[in-house]
Amino acid sequence: MRSFPAALKLVSIAALAAGFVTAPAAQADVSTLEKRLGSSAAGSYLDDSGRLVVAVTDQAALATVTASGARARLVQHSAATLQASTAVLDRSAKIPGTSWGTDPVTNQVVVSADTTVTGASLARLKAAVAGLGDTARLEQVPGSFTTTISGGDAILGGGVRCSLGFNVKRPGTSTAYLLTAGHCGNLTSTWSTSGGQVIASRTGTSFPGNDYALFQYTSNISRPGEVNLYNGTRRSIDSAGNAVVGQTVGRSGSTTGFHRGKVTGLNVTVNYVDGTTVTGMIATTVCVQGGDSGGPLFANNTALGLTSGGSGDCTSGGRSFYQPVTEALNAYGVTVY
């Protein structure tokens, strides 16, 4: 496996969604393009055909996007307007069992309420959303938003089971670590295998707010830069990148194995039912269950995130939230390999 000299590699659309975008869109880097658009930018996503769509609020920006090779779409609300709406929710609607984030497809902030939000709390949430006019919409979802910890096998510590995210190392050294979820890292100072072998010791953890933790390997256990696809094969991970709305992604976890889905939101705020809040999350349609926490979210050979939590299950379906991996890599000065 290759190693990379920086924790955050800037990757093009081709790397972010290899196999899911057409050649013209692959020529434009999302973040660079949106910076050029300035206040006219309103988000971007991959459509059903895999082509990059960039939403803008004026005709000049429309021409800039088209010239870049991406598809342009004219919308009413700018990214700044939608961010102002999320700021109102941050101040007035931090209710356990809710989440919100910008949906560039509908050009709105999507506010979700799980089944635990009822009575006065639901009325308060509805009032907050109504006050935002057509910049926001409310949806009610089955299940409850919880972090996903349970007892069992995989990496064990503190009486709980979680899933390993990505093996990482410090550039220029052979010192190896594993990344997992911060809510898992808060509960134990060491991880062990299902056979009881202690393999790693906690270096740092961040939860709530973020949801990532770093553990340094303390044993000589094999630690390849791969993820388990739970079909007898593994996928090599050789870079890290940022997710795109509409992107097809995979998630691996010690309870439910490998599942696919699509990215539905970025920079999402989640208020879990235990009262903790995380921000800046990736939202997807991939299912999760207890014990999948900390596991890897990826697209092809690119690391994208660490499993934080979600609602529903892998029988009836659900939704899930992920800590962007690039933030964790930068925080600890490590790289995937």
Distance of alpha carbon 109 from alpha carbon 106, whole angstroms: 8
Q: What are phi and psi of 109, to 5 degrees?
A: -90, 125
Written as six digits, the tokens of 79 are 């990214």
Q: What are phi and psi of 23, to 5 degrees?
A: -55, -45
Across the strands, what pairs with 249? 261
Pairing of strands 155-157, 146-147: unpaired
Asked if 53 contacts 70 with a C-beta cutoff of 8 angstroms, the reply is yes
**Residue that is written with structure tokens 């990148």 in the block:** 241
Which residues are identified as catalytic? 183, 211, 293
Q: What is the DSSP string of 172-211?
A: TS--EEEEE-HHHHTT-SEEE-TTS-EEEEEEEEE-SBS-
Asked if 148 contacts 312 with a C-beta cutoff of 8 angstroms, the reply is no
Distance of alpha carbon 318 from alpha carbon 287, whole angstroms: 5
Specify the DSSP class assigned to residue 134. G
Distance of alpha carbon 11 from alpha carbon 236, whole angstroms: 17
Distance of alpha carbon 154 from alpha carbon 192, whole angstroms: 8
Single-letter amino acid code for the residue at 51: R
Specify the DSSP class assigned to residue 222. -
